[in-house]
Amino acid sequence: MGRNPHMGRFEGVGQKDREIIERALRQTNIYALKDRNINELSGGEGQLAIIARALATEASVILLDEPTSGLDVKHTLEIVKILYELKEQGKTILVTIHDLNLARKFCDTISILCCGKLFYSGTPEGAFTEENIKQVFEVNVKEYKHNDTTFLDFYK
């Protein structure tokens, strides 16, 4: 499906398309699953397949909605690593994500929506202030630092 934008109405998948698809499957570490139906994959494998499909489009901008939602730590870190590598290749990655700690650690720019409007856009450090968290999410936050990483703990 990722190659559909590059094919004519009744055109089949050509050799170049197969090579691009294969590269996307290898890049997401799911080449061994290529012959399985997506309905047979685990949640993490399915998310990786969806990312592989996005990669196969060869788009310069990739938009992902909750790419790590419901995943275990292993698959979450695999997806974050792939997204970081794509960013390093010059691709623009836009993700919606509700895990604020993950967003703070891995995103360059954070945009927060509140009541259907843009509430904040800028650095992760500026996004997750006590005042912003309380106003947007109606909870309190305490920051914890470990080595060079800051973690957020939320409470009512």
For 42-46, what is the mean pLDDT? 86
Collect all residues with Cβ–Cβ distance below 8 Å to 18 and sequence separation of at least 6.
Answer: none
Q: Per-domain residue ranges for the chain?
A: 100-156
Q: pTM of this prediction?
A: 0.75
* Distance, CA of 58 to CA of 22 (rounded, Å): 13
**Residues 105, 111, 116, 118, CA torsion sign:** positive
Tokens at 86, concatenated: 């794509």
* Distance, CA of 138 to CA of 155 (rounded, Å): 10
Q: Is the pLDDT reported for residue 135 higher than 90?
A: yes
* Distance, CA of 71 to CA of 47 (rounded, Å): 9
Strand locations in 20-126 (E):
61-65, 92-96, 110-114, 117-122
For 37-64, what is the mean pLDDT? 88
Cβ–Cβ < 8 Å for 29, 48: yes
Q: For position 1, what pLDDT does the model report?
A: 67
Cβ–Cβ < 8 Å for 8, 17: no
pLDDT digits (tens, 9 = 90+) for 114-125: 999 999 999 999
| HSE-up of residue 37 (Cα within 13 Å, Cβ side) | 2
Q: How many CB atoms lie within 10 A of CB 74?
A: 9
Q: For position 7, what pLDDT does the model report?
A: 66
